[in-house]
A and B are shown apart, each in its own frame.
Chain A
Amino acid sequence: MNIKSLLKTMTEKVGVSGNEFAASNAAAELLKQYAEDVNVDAFGNVTGFVKSGRADAKTLMLDAHIDQVGYIVTNIDENGFISVGTCGSPDVKTILAQSVTVHGKKDIQGVVSTLPPHVLKSESAPKAEEISIDVGMNKAQVMEIVSLGDFVTVNSAFRELAGNVISAPAVDDRSGVCAILSALDMLKGKKMAYNIAVSFSAQEETGERGATQTAFRIAPDECIAVDVSFGRTPDSSPKETAELGSGVMIGYSPSLDSGMSNSLRALARNKNIAFTEEVMPGSTGTNADAIGVSGAGVKCCTLSFPIRYMHTPVECVDLGDVELTARLICEYALGGADDV
């Protein structure tokens, strides 16, 4: 499976928290190659199942969120300019003079206004409530196409940088979706230790809401939540970030199952899969937080990989890290952790 083309396909689909269907439907189609009973529910969550064939097999849930951060239309003023609120927490600092798509009755293009020096109040970063989108139409024209509650995404493109690095929108967490699909591809025809339940969950960015539902329905024994983490930049703290290309990040946290964390680490060592430990002192800020306390409780671990510029339209990921994450998931599903 070519992870690059898979990531391109998945990052070109739009799925802001609250309306993930374009992305969910695309992910469901891809999942059907590997899983049974693939379903997109009313919330936008995708689920599917792969049987191990073993009668006593436990269920391992593999989760990645399908939603991306974005904006939602809150007002259309008398001149047709559109105001928005945030969905999730996009980096609002990066919004001025961006081109955007307003997903109304049809998709329309627009530009976020930026003010020249003579009216710019200060050098401070824009606030969400100050964002104004120019769609080049008067109010009546806008109202024919756009309604309050429609979603807005910042335009961007899939770009290949040097090395193995890709820049694209929604890398958080479509690259996690790709890691899981890639793991399923590696597992094809192999004898697994677990029954696999896949969850591509909606509304992670607004509070892990979709995974709350899928975890309840699946009621797994264990779960690996695959999400992105913080990549190192010149202005970031080395203690809080990992270098792109440093491999899969294995989660350690009081809220995660330390047995799973240790098993995954031992397995990574045994299979020569490059990794770092991601230590999170409280909860994880991922779907693992919600899945862990679902029903009577689920043993959880996070597998992540570092990305730079999280929650901007130009998120950067190293494809090698995505592949190593897929490999570790694959080895775990095969039962490799029992042998180390």
Chain B
Amino acid sequence: MFDELKTLCELNGTSGDESRVRNYIETHINADKITTDPLGNLLVFKKGRKTPDKKIMFAAHMDEVGFIITDVSENGFLSFGAVGGINPSVVLGRALCVDNKAFGIVGTKAVHQQSKEERGKIPPFDEMYIDVGGNVDISRGSFAYFDTDFFRFGDGFIKGKAIDDRAGCLIMMDMINGEPEYDAWYAFTVQEEIGTRGSKTAAFTIAPDAAIVLETTTACDAAGVSGSKKVCELGKGAVVSYMDKRTIYDRELYSLAFKTAEENGIPVQTKTLVAGGNDSGSIHISRGGVRTCAVSVPCRNLHSPSCVIKESDYFAVKKLAEKMLSAVAEI
């Protein structure tokens, strides 16, 4: 799983630039029907042993947060904006990969030359620049990505960029390549990070009765954070949400997820704060409405070059996703 996730996460694919990820997934799944819709969503159908009386859709987004070049100066300094919600503090002092062909550095003048006020303040993106060293053929509208390491560390933890939501993509790929119990649709969506846009058209086209969104979600179990502010914790299993900023989840599916987890000995938790949002937001109000559930891998430092997940949580989400296919089919 580690090597596959690493390969998937190291592909650069921010919102609007998902083709590398889509091509990789398309060539690494064994499905019964694969189509790419006008926005770039990869819509996949896989037959199972049985055909349920309702249409079930899984969804995970292919895009990651990244950057877009807004201006190019002659001496190799590029202006840029963030694609998706990135805190400027995780961008300073980093190397980026620009347009998949050049390295660029984001920095400021030397710490020695900063005033006290400047030292205490993270500049906004419109005051930052990407330094590519000299003249490089980069156009406005090109994309840039964190160029960072991907590794396993500590007691079963994994660090890297784009784990949000390539983890969900990998689980769906494994489900497709396995022997699923029931027929299902799998939507590998685009543009989640800029407003859950791809899932809107994916859900329209597939027109499911029920949807299970596989995601990563913010865990804030960091030093000095206690109680409900942790939101959820690594090592405590799959996260099933009752509500976030975009969705109040189907109560029956929410309860079913917990029941299914308990029956199968899968560790499961919920969020202790109404925060975040994902593709469920557009899926559950698609067409005449879709009963929707989200199962997520808890993730520290979301939307940074250092997303951190725990392997055991990933496997809990994977197992729960597989079991939920049958459980939802049998409602």
Contact = CB atoms under 8 A, between A and B. Distances in A.
Interface residues of B, number: 62
Given A81-B222, A134-B222, A137-B154, A93 B105 contact: no
A163 B136 CA distance: 9
A118 B304 contact: no
Interface in A38-96: 77, 79, 81, 83, 89-91, 93-96
A93 B129 CA distance: 16
A125 B222 contact: no
A300 B164 CA distance: 55
A234 B75 CA distance: 10
Given A115-B225, A162-B102, A89 B111 contact: yes
B110 A309 contact: yes
Contacts of A136: 153-157, 308, 310
B90 A114 contact: yes
Contact of B112 (A117, A135, A154, A310): A310
Contacts of B103: 159-161, 167
B265 interface: no
B301 A119 contact: no
A165 B135 CA distance: 11
B223 A79 contact: yes
A131 B136 CA distance: 36
A307 to B, nearest CB: 8
A165 B222 contact: no
Contacts of B76: 162-163
> Closest 3 CB pairs between A and B?
A136-B154, A94-B93, A161-B133
24 contacts: A91-B110, A93-B89, A93-B119, A94-B92, A97-B304, A109-B159, A110-B154, A113-B301, A114-B304, A116-B218, A136-B153, A136-B154, A159-B103, A161-B133, A162-B134, A230-B110, A230-B113, A233-B107, A236-B110, A241-B113, A285-B112, A308-B107, A309-B105, A316-B105
Interface of A: 77, 79, 81, 83, 89-91, 93-99, 108-120, 123-126, 132, 134-138, 141, 154-157, 159-163, 165, 167, 230, 233-237, 240-241, 285, 308-314, 316
